[in-house]
Each structure stands twice: as structure tokens, then as C-alpha cells.
């Protein structure tokens, strides 16, 4: 009996000790599973472990799968400590239902509102409180070009869609595809948004997606954007429909196509192929602004004080300047902080960082707005792209009714 | 399962009157609970949600038929319904024809029968994802058959079915028939082997041509097998999703969209549970309408005293 009591006592001590000393367990749910991505997330894990915490990695392949699993666990009352989302509207409903914890104390102490671009602050806050930690910015209107192909075709690197369309005949004549495009609906959408931004600037773009202003969709500028977009169809190759973005990037980096419009995650493909920006390939931000997307981490409500402390520590670490630079160099994106030294990063990242300094150029991508609106307009855009016989008028008409149907 | 039910049919009414032994009843309880909670429960939950404005998270308000109104004015949903009907009819018909022909071919007691049987049935062992990817590559104009033919100088032949809006559904049918015809062959071959050899002898004595024996005598005998095959094929039509995702992603545009993909996209990516569940309910209703005559014939009618 006595030995049993001693054993119990000893167990209690053993359990209590580490709880008091260390063991800020943080379970982090994310979907970064590819080579470059997991190398990037390891930066966070190492930083957290280095700060005395215990990183529990829950990686689920595929953003959609990971978000479903995470949302189900949050609703079911067994949330992960930290969870990834895309910057934008994805987690708004969780905030509205009181399922997330704000990290205002950390944000105030570290002055987040001043060091982050305004669009990112808006995306991470709800009613003035920080509910998410933005960790990176992916530009989504980059034109990647193959310098060798451009040279052989005798054209300069296009700085706008108008220039690309003008250069297309020469590129075709030289035997290359002017624009490598993967005809999947989201890629059609990314390309369309870039054209809208070039034609109408941030103003038109925001009126469409943020304000759901149907007059803007009926404006001449929008029609003009639709026409330019339609002209781009002739610049692609016939293998385009259904092709994934990375296969498409491959056409550019192997010298079969001149250019691709894609987010800067495509840079990872060029880096993996051992190419240097500015030398073998070029990267240009298309005119009109810098279309920003990215990733955030949110903090589900927890009761446990230790878990709350773990969340605060994680929030602080993820946005610390050193971790930001190290993480984003691996990820291919640019840091969300405007005050970090990016001289170690490549030419494209520095150009992206420069674009970010100008608030007038910061445009939050469509992910920041209603997912339903993005979905309904995407269906119309992808139909228009694949159906040349649909004229601009019919397209605008369908686009307006898609805007009206969406919440 | 249909075949078993058919052979037991004469004894069915007698068995229905008998009481189920206690042990059997107890053994069935878990299955009954699972059916009630998981299948029926989820169906009711889905139908209920289709009358709400649920977005990312389910809520239980009531918005009437507004989700259905939106659904039925949605071009993409209507296209997906057209596609699934076209696909379903062509797929089931083609699988039956090719499956039957292959079964007859093998039934000729040819040499290397086991080899051919394996080859014909092999595609069925692959998942729809693999099937879709393989056919995507085969039909890709810059990688696959078309590219090969063009390099051989046959530039007048275009095999761009999977990237052409007007033919993409036929490309899906092609891939699905390649995948499913072997199963029909296996089922019908079993049936052919079960045909009494005396029938063949009698037909030969009467001098009836072989094709006539197949169409007028053997095919009717295969009735239950064909029903089984059709049921299995119909199930794969209703749940058609992975093949489309792997092969075309619903494109070009929305040209090869199917209802299951519509539901999945809206349920998750677009945070629109209300619209997704109303589309799912429409699928349920359609399946119920298709199944109703069969259920009536099999379970309701036999109870009527003659």
C-alpha cells in the first residue's frame, strides 16, 4: 500500500514538473507538404523549438483537405493550437461564430499595424482585432518570361498584356508559344484578374470583387478588359486545357513558350531547375498594381492557459523579422513586414518588396473577398475563356448575373 | 446481389412470414443502427440543410426554396446535369455492347483464354484517378496520340477530343468504357458459361445460325446478369467524380462538369453548404426516381396476393 502511494506521488511529481518547466505544446495544422514548402515550415518549427516550445506537426496535403479537417476539429471542440488559412475571407465565419481567439496583445506589443501593409492588416483583422497572423505575400500577377526565347524571337520582354499581344506574331513566327497558359478554371481566373487590374487599376478590381458593384462590370473599362482577355486565347497552345500550372511553367523554362502569367510560387520551379532570375528568365509585375495573396495562421479558442501562452508565443515568432526573411526565402514569397532587410533575397522578391512599399499599388487578390462570389464569377470567366463565340456582351451579362447570385 | 435475389424469389413470400431468430436480429442491430444514423440520418440532414442559407458552417435557419431557385438558374449545374445524362446513357450502352462482345469472343473456347480475360478485366483493377490521368495524357494534343500521328506525317488526323468542348464528354465515355467494359464481360461470361450445353446442341440440330441463338435464346437467359451489370454501372454513373477531376477537371470551361463535382466544389472550396446540399438533394431525388420502378417491381408487387 505504501509503495503504491509512493509510486502515485512520484508519478504526480513527474507529471507536474515538466508542465511547470517547459512543454508549451503547440499543434500546428498546415498543408505545406511539398519539398520547398516543408523546408519553409521547418523554419517556424525550429524557431519555436528554439524558444523552448514543443512543435507538434500536423501536415495534411492539399489546402482544401487541411481546412476541412481543421474546421471540423474546431467545430467539434478539439481544435489544433494553430491552424493555417489563406489570407482572405476563408476564416471570417469562424470569427463571427466566436471560434477564434484574437492575438491583439501580441499585435500591440509588436506594433503590427505599422509594420504590415494596410491591405494585409485589413485582411488579418475583424472589427479592429487581429484574428490571424499573416506570414507571407504571394504576388499573383507576375509575368515569367524565358529570355532566350524572347531573344530568338527578336522581341523585348513584354511589360504589359498589350505589349505581349503585339509581340505574339513574332514569337509565333520563331516557332514558340507566346503565352503558356494552363486552362484550369482558377488559372483562367488569375489571368483574367491580372488583365482587369491592368485595364482598370485597383479601383475597378475592388469595385467588382469587394463592393460587388454591378455597374463596374458594365463599364467600358471592364468590357475592354474582357476583350483583351479574349485576345489572349490565340496566344496559347492547343494542349492548354486542363494543364496544371507547374506543367505550364515547365514550357517556359524548357524554352517552348515565351511567357506565363502566374503567382510567384512558380518561381520555385525555376529555382528547382537551377535557373537565376534576370539571367535565364525574367519576372515582371504586370501594370496596375501588385496582386497580393498569401497565408495566415489563426488561433482557435482554447481554455488552457498553457495553450494560450503557446499561441501568443507562436504569433510573435512567426512575425519576427529574422524568421520572416528565413521563411520567405524558402517559400518563394516575400515577407509581410515592410521593415525587414531583403538584400539576401533574389531579384524577383526584391522587386515584389519594392512594389509593396507603395500603398497605392497594394491590391488584395480575389481570395480576400466572398468565396461564393469568386466561385460564381470563376465559372463565367472559365466558360468565356473556353468559348470564343461568347461575345463580350454575353460575357458581361453572365458576369453581372453571377455577381447578383453570389452572397 | 440481384442474381441472388432472383434465384430466391419463389421462396421469398414464405420466408417473410417466418420470425427472425433472436441471434440473427441481435447480429443485425449494429448494421441497422449504422444504416439509420449514417445513411438515412445524413440524408435527412442534407435535405434539411438545403433549405438553409448555410455557408462555411451549417446553420439551421429556413430560407425556403431559394437555394433551389439559384440552383436551377445556374448554367453550370444545368450543364452538369446534361453531361451526366449523356454520359450515363452512352456509358451503360457501350459497356454492355462491348462487354457482351468480349464475353462471346472468350466463350468461343479460344486459345489463351485466361490471357485475354486478364487483359480485358485489367483496366477495372485501376482506380478512376489513374484511368483519368492515363487518358488525359493519351488524348493530350501535345503529348499523346495526336502528337505521335502528326510526327508520322498524318497531320490530317486530330485527336483533340479531351480538350474540345464539343467532344469532351465522349472522351470521358471512352475512358470510362475502357475501365468498365471488362467487368461487364466477366459478369456476362459467367452467365454464358451457365447456359445449358443441351440448348446449344438442340439449336445446332435445328440448324439455327449462331448469332440467332445468341440474340434470341442466350441473351434472354442472361437477363439477371444484365440487370446486375446495369445496376453496377449506374452506380458508377451517379458517383462520377474522380474520373472527371483527374482527366479534365470539369473543363474546358465547364464543358465536362458533373453534379458530384458541382456539389464538392460548393461544399468546400466555395463555402456554400446551402447550395451544395440542394444540388445533392436533386441528385438524391433523381436516383430515387430511377430506382423507384425497380424497387416497386421487386419489393412491393410480390406482396400483392394473387
Residue B159 near residue B146, CB atoms below 8 Å:
yes
Closest residue on chain B to A386 (Cα): B253
pLDDT in tens, B230-261: 989 998 898 899 999 999 988 798 999 999 99
Supply the CATH classification number for the domain B50-303.
Answer: 1.10.3720.10
Q: How much is the pLDDT for B305?
A: 53
User: Is A230 near chain B, with CB under 8 Å?
Assistant: no
**pLDDT, tens digit (0-9, with 9 covering 90-100), for A266-306:** 887 888 788 888 889 999 999 999 998 889 999 999 988 88
Query: Which chain B residue shows the shortest CA-CA distance from A188?
Result: B253
Question: What Å distances lie between residue B197 and B218, B223, B244, CA to CA?
Answer: 11, 18, 44
Query: What confidence category does residue A123 fall into, taking pLDDT thresholds of 50, 70 and 90?
Result: confident
Residue A263 has pLDDT above 60, yes or no: yes
Q: Domain A139-292+363-405 carries which CATH code?
A: 3.40.190.10
- Which residues of A fall within a CB distance of 8 Å from B54? none
Q: What integer pLDDT is reported at residue A218 of this predicted model?
A: 94
Q: Is B278 on the interface with A (CB under 8 A)?
A: no
| pLDDT over 90 at A92, yes or no | no
Could you report the per-residue pLDDT of A128-138, keeping only the tens digit for each? 899 999 999 99
pLDDT at A23 over 60: no
- Residue of A86, A88, A94, A241 to mutate for B, most B C-beta atoms under 10 A: A241
Quote the CA–CA distance of B49 and B64 in Å, as a whole number: 11
Model confidence over B154-207: pLDDT tens digits? Answer: 888 888 888 888 899 999 999 999 999 999 999 999 999 888 889 889 988 998
Q: What is the model's pLDDT at position B80?
A: 94
Q: With 90 as the cut, is the pLDDT of residue A367 above it?
A: no
Instruction: Please identify, in words, the CATH class of the domain defined by A2-138+293-358.
Output: alpha beta
Q: Report the alpha-carbon distance of residue B244 to residue B237 in Å, rounded.
A: 11
Three-class secondary structure of residue B239 per DSSP: coil
pLDDT at position A268 is 79
Q: Which residues of A89-125 are buried (b: 16+ CB within 10 A; e: fewer)?
A: bbbbbbbeeebbbbbeebbeebebeebbbebbbebbb
Interface probe for A, chosen from B253, B255, B266, B274 (most Cβ of A below 10 Å), is: B253
Yes or no, beta carbons of B252 and A242 under 8 Å apart: yes
Domain ranges of chain B: 50-303
**Cβ A64–B269 below 8 Å, yes or no?**
yes
Instruction: In chain A, list all ranges with CATH 3.40.190.10.
Output: 2-138+293-358, 139-292+363-405
A24's CB contacts (< 8 A; 6+ apart) are: A52, A53, A54, A306, A309, A310, A313
B250 in contact with A at a CB cutoff of 8 Å? yes
- The SS3 assignment for A300 reads strand
The pLDDT, as a whole number, for residue B114 is: 87
Q: What is the pLDDT of residues A210-226, one digit of tens each?
A: 899 999 999 999 999 99
- Residue B5 clears pLDDT 80, i.e. is over it: no
What pLDDT does residue A63 have? 80
- Cβ–Cβ below 8 Å for A405 and B74: yes
- Say if B56 is an interface residue toward chain A (CB within 8 Å): yes
Contact B85, B282 (CB under 8 A): no
Q: Count Cα atoms within 13 angstroms, Cβ side, for B92.
A: 19
Residue A14 has pLDDT above 80, yes or no: no
Does A350 have pLDDT greater than 50? Answer: yes
Which among B53, B76, B141 is the nearest to A379, CB-wise?
B76
What number of C-beta contacts closer than 8 Å exist between A and B? 90
∠ Cα B90 B93 B95 (to 5°)? 100
Q: Does A371 touch chain B (CB under 8 A)?
A: yes
**Are B254 and A407 a contacting pair at CB < 8 A?**
no
Q: Is B243 touching A (CB cutoff 8 A)?
A: no
Say which DSSP state A262 is in. Answer: E
Amino acid at each position: 500500500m505504501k509503495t503504491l502511494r509512493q509510486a502515485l506521488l512520484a508519478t504526480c511529481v513527474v507529471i507536474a514538473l515538466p508542465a511547470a518547466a517547459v512543454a508549451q505544446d503547440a499543434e500546428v495544422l498546415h498543408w505545406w507538404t511539398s519539398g520547398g514548402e516543408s523546408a519553409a515550415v521547418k523554419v517556424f518549427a525550429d524557431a519555436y523549438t528554439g524558444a523552448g516550445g514543443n512543435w507538434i506537426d500536423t501536415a495534411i496535403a492539399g489546402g482544401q483537405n487541411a481546412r476541412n479537417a481543421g474546421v471540423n476539429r474546431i467545430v467539434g471542440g478539439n481544435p489544433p493550437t494553430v491552424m493555417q488559412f489563406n489570407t482572405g475571407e476563408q476564416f471570417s465565419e469562424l470569427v463571427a461564430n466566436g471560434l477564434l481567439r484574437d492575438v491583439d496583445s501580441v499585435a500591440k506589443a509588436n506594433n503590427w499595424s505599422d509594420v504590415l501593409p494596410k491591405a494585409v492588416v485589413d485582411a488579418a483583422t475583424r472589427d479592429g482585432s487581429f484574428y490571424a497572423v499573416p506570414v507571407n505575400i504571394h504576388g499573383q500577377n507576375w509575368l515569367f518570361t524565358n529570355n532566350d526565347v524572347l531573344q530568338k524571337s527578336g522581341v523585348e520582354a513584354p511589360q504589359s498584356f498589350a505589349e505581349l499581344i503585339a509581340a505574339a506574331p513574332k514569337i509565333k513566327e520563331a516557332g514558340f508559344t507566346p503565352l503558356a497558359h494552363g486552362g484550369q478554371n482558377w488559372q483562367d481566373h488569375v489571368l483574367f484578374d491580372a488583365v482587369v487590374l491592368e485595364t482598370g487599376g485597383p479601383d475597378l478590381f475592388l469595385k467588382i470583387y469587394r463592393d460587388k458593384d454591378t455597374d463596374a462590370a458594365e463599364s467600358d473599362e471592364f468590357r475592354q478588359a474582357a476583350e483583351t482577355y479574349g485576345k489572349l486565347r490565340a496566344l496559347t497552345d492547343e494542349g492548354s486545357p486542363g494543364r496544371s500550372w507547374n506543367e505550364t511553367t515547365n514550357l517556359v523554362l524548357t524554352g517552348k513558350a515565351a511567357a506565363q502569367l502566374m503567382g510567384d510560387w512558380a518561381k520555385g520551379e525555376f529555382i528547382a531547375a537551377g535557373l537565376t532570375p534576370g539571367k535565364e528568365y525574367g519576372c515582371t509585375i504586370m501594370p496596375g498594381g501588385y496582386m497580393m495573396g498569401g497565408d495566415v495562421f489563426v488561433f482557435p479558442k482554447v481554455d488552457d492557459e498553457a495553450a494560450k501562452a503557446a499561441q501568443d508565443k507562436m504569433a510573435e515568432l512567426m512575425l519576427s523579422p529574422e524568421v520572416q526573411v528565413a521563411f520567405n526565402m524558402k517559400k518563394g514569397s516575400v515577407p509581410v513586414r515592410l521593415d525587414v532587410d531583403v538584400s539576401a533575397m533574389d531579384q524577383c522578391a526584391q522587386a515584389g518588396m519594392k512594389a509593396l512599399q507603395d500603398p497605392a499599388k497594394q491590391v488584395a487578390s480575389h481570395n480576400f473577398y466572398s468565396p461564393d462570389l469568386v466561385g460564381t464569377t470563376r465559372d463565367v470567366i472559365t466558360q468565356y475563356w473556353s468559348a470564343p463565340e461568347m461575345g463580350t456582351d454575353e460575357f458581361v451579362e453572365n458576369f453581372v448575373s453571377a455577381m447578383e447570385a453570389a452572397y | 446481389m440481384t442474381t441472388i435475389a432472383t434465384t430466391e424469389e419463389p421462396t421469398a413470400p414464405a420466408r417473410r412470414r417466418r420470425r427472425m431468430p433472436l441471434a440473427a436480429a441481435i447480429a443485425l442491430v449494429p448494421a441497422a443502427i449504422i444504416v439509420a444514423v449514417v445513411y438515412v440520418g445524413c440524408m435527412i440532414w442534407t435535405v434539411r440543410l438545403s433549405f438553409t442559407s448555410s455557408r462555411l458552417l451549417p446553420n439551421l435557419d429556413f430560407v425556403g426554396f431559394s437555394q433551389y431557385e439559384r440552383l436551377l438558374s445556374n448554367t453550370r449545374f444545368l450543364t452538369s446535369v446534361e453531361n451526366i445524362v449523356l454520359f450515363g446513357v452512352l456509358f451503360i450502352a457501350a459497356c454492355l455492347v462491348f462487354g457482351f462482345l468480349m464475353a462471346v469472343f472468350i466463350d468461343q473456347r479460344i486459345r489463351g483464354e485466361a490471357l485475354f480475360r486478364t487483359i480485358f478485366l485489367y483496366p477495372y483493377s485501376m482506380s478512376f484517378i489513374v484511368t483519368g490521368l492515363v487518358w488525359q495524357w493519351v488524348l493530350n494534343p501535345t503529348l499523346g496520340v495526336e502528337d505521335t500521328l502528326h510526327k508520322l506525317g498524318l497531320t490530317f488526323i486530330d485527336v483533340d477530343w479531351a480538350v474540345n468542348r464539343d467532344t469532351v464528354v465522349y472522351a470521358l465515355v471512352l475512358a470510362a468504357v475502357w475501365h468498365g467494359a471488362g467487368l461487364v464481360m466477366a459478369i456476362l461470361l459467367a452467365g454464358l458459361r451457365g447456359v445449358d450445353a443441351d440448348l446449344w446442341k438442340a439449336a445446332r440440330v435445328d440448324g439455327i445460325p449462331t448469332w440467332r441463338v445468341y440474340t434470341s435464346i442466350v441473351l434472354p437467359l442472361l437477363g439477371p446478369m444484365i440487370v446486375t451489370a446495369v445496376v453496377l454501372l449506374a452506380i458508377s454513373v451517379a458517383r462520377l467524380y474522380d474520373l472527371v477531376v483527374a482527366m479534365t477537371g470539369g473543363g474546358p470551361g465547364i464543358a465536362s462538369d458533373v453534379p458530384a463535382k458541382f456539389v464538392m466544389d460548393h461544399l468546400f472550396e466555395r463555402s456554400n453548404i446551402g447550395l451544395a446540399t440542394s444540388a445533392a438533394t436533386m441528385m438524391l431525388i433523381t436516383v430515387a426516381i430511377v430506382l423507384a420502378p425497380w424497387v416497386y417491381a421487386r419489393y412491393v408487387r410480390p406482396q400483392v396476393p394473387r
